[in-house]
Amino acid sequence: MKVGGHWSQGLKASMHDPSLIVKQDELIVIIKDKYPKAKHHYLILPKADVRNLKALNIDHLSLLKHMQDEAKKLINGIESPSGFKIGYHAVPSMSQLHLHAISQDFDSPCLKTKTHWNAFTTEYFIDSEDVIRDVEKYGKVCCIDERSAKEILKKDLRCHICNESLKNMPKLKEHILVHMGKKNNS
């Protein structure tokens, strides 16, 4: 399958890349995130063309539930002391709907910027259950205000576990190692 060249279309190519695919069925494909922001980071995508959260309607409900069920099955088979979250970015950068399943260690060289951090550890990361609830109740996703979502990305850095404020990304990355038991607090 020939897929367009713009970077925002990259997931559409990766959905067909055997080196990234971990599971698929007739409705969805699960791939490894190419630039993982934690030790375990996967994307669950529908095979049908679904551009983003704004394109969702009541007809997508069973698909959304299936994506979430498959994400849960996947993470249940992975040992990760930090646990996992399953959700969507309020304003995704990549085209084609994708559900993130990401471990909460955030131990990855690809996690570099304040934007990365806030996108995964604040209310910018919308729980899959909330998306499903909206579509079930209203026939669309209502829980997103794009303008305020973009402001969230500029928020000061805070630890996702103890809420401590950190000056910069190197300090934050050093700090979270303490929670992961990789470093002493002294």
Chain residues that interact with ligand AMP, rule: CB under 6 A: 10-11, 14, 31, 33-35, 37, 89, 92-94, 98
CB of 101 to ligand AMP, least distance (A): 11
Residue of minimal Cβ distance to ligand AMP: 10
Nearer CB in complex with ligand AMP: 126/176:
126
| Rounded Cα–Cα distance for residues 98 and 31 (Å) | 10
Place of tokens 């494909």: 29
| Rounded Cα–Cα distance for residues 44 and 98 (Å) | 5
Cα angle value 35/29/54 (rounded, 5°)? 80
Say if strands 21-24 and 28-32 run parallel, antiparallel, or are unpaired.
antiparallel
CB of 10 to ligand AMP, least distance (A): 3
Nearer CB in complex with ligand AMP: 34/155:
34
Question: What are the φ and ψ backbone dihedral angles of 45, each rounded to 5 degrees?
Answer: -125, 145
| Rounded Cα–Cα distance for residues 8 and 92 (Å) | 10
* Catalytic-residue membership of 98: yes
> Which of 41, 60, 98, 175 is the catalytic position?
98
CB of 178 to ligand AMP, least distance (A): 25
Nearer CB in complex with ligand AMP: 149/180:
149
- Residues acting as catalytic residues: 98
